[in-house]
Amino acid sequence: MNISVNSENMTLKGDSTPYLTYNALNDIPFIRHAFSTRLGGVSQGVCESMNLAFGRGDDRETVLENYKLMCDSAGFEFESLCGSVQIHEAKVQKVTKADRGHGILKERVFSSADALITNDKDVTLVTYYADCTPLFFVDIKTHAIGLAHAGWRGTVSKIAVNTVKAMNEHFGTKAEDLVCAIGPVIGKCCYEIDETCAQQFMALGEIDTTAVLEKLSGGKYLADLALTNKLLLKSAGVKEENIVVSDLCTKCNSELLWSHRATAGNRGTMAAFMKILY
């Protein structure tokens, strides 16, 4: 498959089933991570070809085959996957080996979990995207990890801050020991919102929201989801030098990445994967 990606901080890997990794996270030896693209799967129709969501009208067995292809390409154990339950809230769920297969190979047990955290090397975290913000959390001291899904609702509900707090509560994580990665996500260049949505950003007291909103005419704004989450992570104590933000906009790169806005909702879904190796 002859494809390339124009990114300074992410690398495209894999052959027939490509995936993205963060250069900064590649330097951490005790984790494995990946972010799928829209390529390299077996789905047909509007979900062609790599779709990892069961709720997009795709055949279940086809989606499972896509998971197997991703796992084979990126080096994850298929049976270890644990999927989130994303309802655009800010709940963080701790998972363990007992949750292997959740939402993928077996029925869901928890009904709300836009973020997953673990310190168990026998489970692989999986969260889902198609313009919303992926957040990766790695504690370099305790070897705990987390993945969070931050749409605009999750962002303004401070799921980034909640995940830092939950990792501290469950694993003793200190914010200054976290390395975090943000994206790929729809960029400010493409993310237009209305006044009602913008007011939710303006209500964030922890950050200077003038930095993340650009007012347009007609009561519209451009919003920077990635920067908002970065500033919220900083407010939670994560060091700026430990936060890396993807330079890939999902809508601008819609030939490689699924974008809800670029496809008017006729799309498949990407996933972030991360596990602890030791």
**137-161 pLDDT per residue, tens:** 999 999 999 999 999 999 999 999 9
User: Tell me, what's the pLDDT at 74?
Assistant: 98
Spatial distance between the Cα atoms of 222 and 242, rounded to a whole number of angstroms: 26
- Residue appearing with tokens 């939710």: 200
Q: What is the CATH code for 10-187+239-276?
A: 3.60.140.10
Indicate if the pLDDT at residue 59 is higher than 90. yes
Q: pLDDT tens digit string along 217-244?
A: 999 999 999 999 999 999 999 999 999 9
Spatial distance between the Cα atoms of 47 and 33, rounded to a whole number of angstroms: 23
Q: How far is CA 221 from the centre of its chain?
A: 24
Closest by CA to 266, choosing from 70, 57, 63, 87, is 57
Q: Provide the residue ranges of all domains of the chain, joining segments of one domain with +.
A: 10-187+239-276
Q: Within 10 A of 253 (CB to CB), how many other CB atoms are there? A: 18
Q: Mean pLDDT over residues 80-87, rounded? A: 97
Q: Provide, rounded to the nearest whole percent, the portion of the chain with pLDDT above 70.
A: 99
pTM for this entry: 0.98
- Residues recorded for the chain: 278
